[in-house]
Structure 1
Amino acid sequence: MRMTIGMSTINNIFQLLGVLLIFIFVLAVTYWTTRWIAKYQQAQVFHKNIKPIETFRVTNGKFIQILKVGEKYIVVAVCKDTITMLTELKEDEVMEIPLEMKQNTNLNFQQVLEDIKKKLHQKQK
């Protein structure tokens, strides 16, 4: 009787470890697949003439976007069923955040704030 209890406990432990390993494997595959898809989509955006600069959510399903189309900057209102051009901006009216700052999540808030202050100070000169 003791032998069967010990064996079932060992079997349960092995089952638990097996399920845990499968779970970790699925998490790792999901993580790497998500990273691959993000890089693929980012590469698709890089080679286009239309580049979203900034998006502001007004309400559910309604956004205001600044887009760079070729060398022009335009502001559009994006709703559920329509897209309306609001105005065109001059290049000096747009403060574009560099891609490195958008992607670099290792920076802390203080570093980002200092970088933005420097860029604003340089633009004012």
Structure 2
Amino acid sequence: MNVSSVSQLITVLILFFLVLAATYYVTKWIARYQKQTNFTANMEIMETCRLSSSKYMQIVRVSKKYLVIAVCKDTVTVLTELSEDEYDPPDFKANDPVDFSKEFEKVLERFKSKK
């Protein structure tokens, strides 16, 4: 191995790590920028139900109103408006860890009962 091939290898490795670091920091910067520009205090998608590959039904909170909308490939249609009393948000227990072994046992029991 001669000196020029070793120097070329080192140069390529340095350039690779510089491009990798630049990609990492630019991605972080873009994510931070998009998070700031997409922040809305008065609008929030509460729930989404997929009806087909390109059609969804969503419950959206706009200020203090809840709207049920249909989202298609090219259109968005308001179906109805819900009052705060009519909308019952789902109870998610994000703080409670899921015990995988218990859930797996439930699935196995259902599978065994089908036989």
Q: TM-score, normalised by structure 1?
A: 0.57
Structure 2 residues not aligned, in runs of 5+? 99-115
Separation in structure 2 between the aligned mates of residue 33 and residue 79 of structure 1, nearest angstrom:
33
* Aligned partners of 1:54 and 1:65 also within 8 Å: yes
2:88 matched to which residue of 1? Answer: 93
* Paired residues, number: 96
What SS is found at the alignment partner of 1:46?
coil
What SS is found at the alignment partner of 1:85?
strand
Asked if 1:40 is matched to 2:33, the reply is: yes
Structure 1 residues not aligned, in runs of 5+? 1-5, 98-110, 117-125
C-alpha RMSD of the superposition: 3.0
Bigger share in helix = 1
Q: 1:95 to 1:43 in 2, by over 3 A?
A: farther
2:76 matched to which residue of 1? Answer: 83
Q: 1:11 to 1:83 in 2, by over 3 A?
A: same
Separation in structure 1 between the aligned mates of residue 10 and residue 49 of structure 2, nearest angstrom:
47
Deviation per CA, 1:36-74, whole angstroms, max 9, x where unpaired? 222222222224532233444433322222322111222
Q: 1:52 to 1:45 in 2, by over 3 A?
A: farther
Alignment of 1:46-65 (within 5 A): 46-65=39-58
2:22 matched to which residue of 1? Answer: 29
Q: 1:47 to 1:83 in 2, by over 3 A?
A: closer
Q: 1:34 to 1:81 in 2, by over 3 A?
A: same
Q: 1:14 to 1:87 in 2, by over 3 A?
A: farther
Deviation per CA, 1:8-30, whole angstroms, max 9, x where unpaired? xx322222222222222222222
Percent identity, please: 42
